[in-house]
Amino acid sequence: MVTIKDVAKRAGVSITTVSHVINKTRYVSDDLTESVYKAMRELNYRPNTLARSLRSGRTKTIGLVIPDISNLFFAEISRKIEDKGFEYEYSVILCNTDDDPKKEKTYINVLLEKQVDGIIFISAGGTEENLMNPIDFGIPTIVADRDIQGATSDVVLVNNLKGGYDAVKYLFSLNHRRIGCISGHSPVTPSAQRLEGYKKALSEVNIKIDNSLIEAGDFRFESGERAMRNLIKLSNPPTAVFACNDMMAMGAMRAVSDCGMNIPEDISLIGFDNIPLSKSVYPALTTIAQPIGEMADLIVEMLVARISQKKKNRKSDEEEDDYKRVVMETNLIERGSCRKLS
Ligand code: RIB
């Protein structure tokens, strides 16, 4: 087996220099660096990452736990997190829990076994118990997108209530008075808060909440399709619908088309998330945009800072307790799926 000693000999440098080149722990001139990489290529040398992480106490890996990779919101934020993690020379281990707290628990244990340096956790909607393990193990953790009461970690969310409120006030400004809502996965905070925003906006303009206009979805395409069919079939259907995420809004679009109706002529529709696809469907979807890229950058920067802080504190055994709670704002993206009623 080729060792670091063979690489040093081939490159004509010391073993220490090879180690500094591999671990980027000290400046090495471009010439010597190229000599080392050339020797590694010629000898087909693979650094022993396990040995390296035992020495440094770091694996340079981050665990990313998400509920549903088939949902384009999570696909997009995962990609942005991976991009940012790569900038900080971290590899991201993606764990898709399929909205299943049991699978989520299994993945948390996998990440503990792999000794990831940190975890980004978007809850499947269960209790916070799955999160206690890594926190008890002192692994830096960021709770993102879905709030967890009592989580002793940094938290990055968006203002879901205000986003739902703005969606309905926008429809009201277009003279819609019979406004439906397709809610999301009920146990998770974004859905409950967006629905609360819907109700708050209606109450503010003295429109009585009609529960027949509220359909429960699960943030997936099919639930939006099913919910919209139910709303369309009402004896007094809505003239506009707020879907609590873009995936359900697209399912709703499919249902309207299957019923031989048109958006926005027959019914207006607004979504939530602003996934990239929302501008490509026809008509392009009006939606409440989450700052997905900025969220991803902030989440990774906060986690990397915690990891570094932990390494420093390891010497002083200080406990972190200055956890941050960041709530980012959404914004309305007007496209072609809503119209003003005369
Ligand atoms: O689309 C999936 C939804 O669940 C998003 O709105 C996101 O906020 C997540 O909670």
Give residue 274's pLDDT band: very low, low, confident or very high (50, 70, 90): very high
pLDDT at 154 over 90: yes
Query: CA 195, CA 182: separation in Å to the nearest integer?
Result: 9
Inter-residue contact 73 to 244 (CB < 8 Å): no
Q: How large is the average pLDDT for residues 241-263?
A: 98
Higher pLDDT, 280 or 44: 280
pLDDT at 247 over 90: yes
Tell me the HSE value of 62 on the side-chain side, using a 13 A CA sphere. 30
Q: Which atom from ligand 1 is nearest to the alpha carbon of 188?
A: 10
CA of 224 from ligand 1 middle (Å) equals: 14
Give residue 16's pLDDT band: very low, low, confident or very high (50, 70, 90): confident
Q: Which atom from ligand 1 is nearest to the alpha carbon of 185?
A: 4
Inter-residue contact 308 to 118 (CB < 8 Å): no
Task: Say if ligand 1 is within 6 A of residue 219 CB.
Answer: yes
Interval 283-311: pLDDT, tens = 999 999 999 999 999 999 999 999 998 87
Q: How large is the average pLDDT for residues 148-169?
A: 93
CA of 248 from ligand 1 middle (Å) equals: 11
Q: Which residue has the tokens 């005369």?
A: 342
Task: Say if ligand 1 is within 6 A of residue 224 CB.
Answer: no
Pocket test for ligand 1, best of 65, 69, 74 (most atoms within 8 A of CB): 74
CA of 125 from ligand 1 middle (Å) equals: 11
pLDDT score for 333: 98
pLDDT at 258 over 90: yes
pLDDT score for 47: 75
Q: How large is the average pLDDT for residues 158-171?
A: 98
Q: Is the dihedral of CA 294, 296, 297, 301 positive or negative?
A: positive
- Secondary structure letter of residue 209 according to DSSP: P
pLDDT score for 126: 63
Supply the pTM of this predicted model. Answer: 0.85
CA of 191 from ligand 1 middle (Å) equals: 8
pLDDT score for 54: 59
Inter-residue contact 278 to 252 (CB < 8 Å): no
126-137 in b/e burial notation, b at 16+ Cβ within 10 A? bebebbebbbee
Q: Is the dihedral of CA 187, 191, 197, 200 positive or negative?
A: negative
pLDDT score for 26: 82
Q: Tell me which residue of 2, 7, 340, 331 sits closest to 167, measured CA to CA.
A: 331
CA of 160 from ligand 1 middle (Å) equals: 10
pLDDT score for 314: 58
Q: Which atom from ligand 1 is nearest to the alpha carbon of 68?
A: 2
Written as six digits, the tokens of 123 are: 């809850």
pLDDT score for 206: 97
Interval 48-102: pLDDT, tens = 766 666 566 678 999 999 999 999 999 999 999 999 999 999 999 999 999 999 9
Interval 216-242: pLDDT, tens = 999 999 999 999 999 999 999 999 999
Written as six digits, the tokens of 257 are: 């088309």
Query: CA 329, CA 163: separation in Å to the nearest integer?
Result: 8
Q: How large is the average pLDDT for residues 6-16?
A: 92
Q: Which atom from ligand 1 is nearest to the alpha carbon of 247?
A: 1
Interval 170-215: pLDDT, tens = 999 999 999 999 999 877 789 999 999 999 999 999 999 999 999 9
Q: What is the β-pairing status of strands 286-289 and 331-333?
A: antiparallel
Higher pLDDT, 216 or 46: 216
Query: CA 110, CA 186: separation in Å to the nearest integer?
Result: 27
Higher pLDDT, 253 or 127: 253
pLDDT score for 128: 74
Written as six digits, the tokens of 198 are: 């819907």
Task: Say if ligand 1 is within 6 A of residue 67 CB.
Answer: no
Higher pLDDT, 44 or 164: 164
Written as six digits, the tokens of 265 are: 């002529």
Tell me the HSE value of 252 on the side-chain side, using a 13 A CA sphere. 40
CA of 17 from ligand 1 middle (Å) equals: 47
CA of 25 from ligand 1 middle (Å) equals: 40
pLDDT at 317 over 60: no
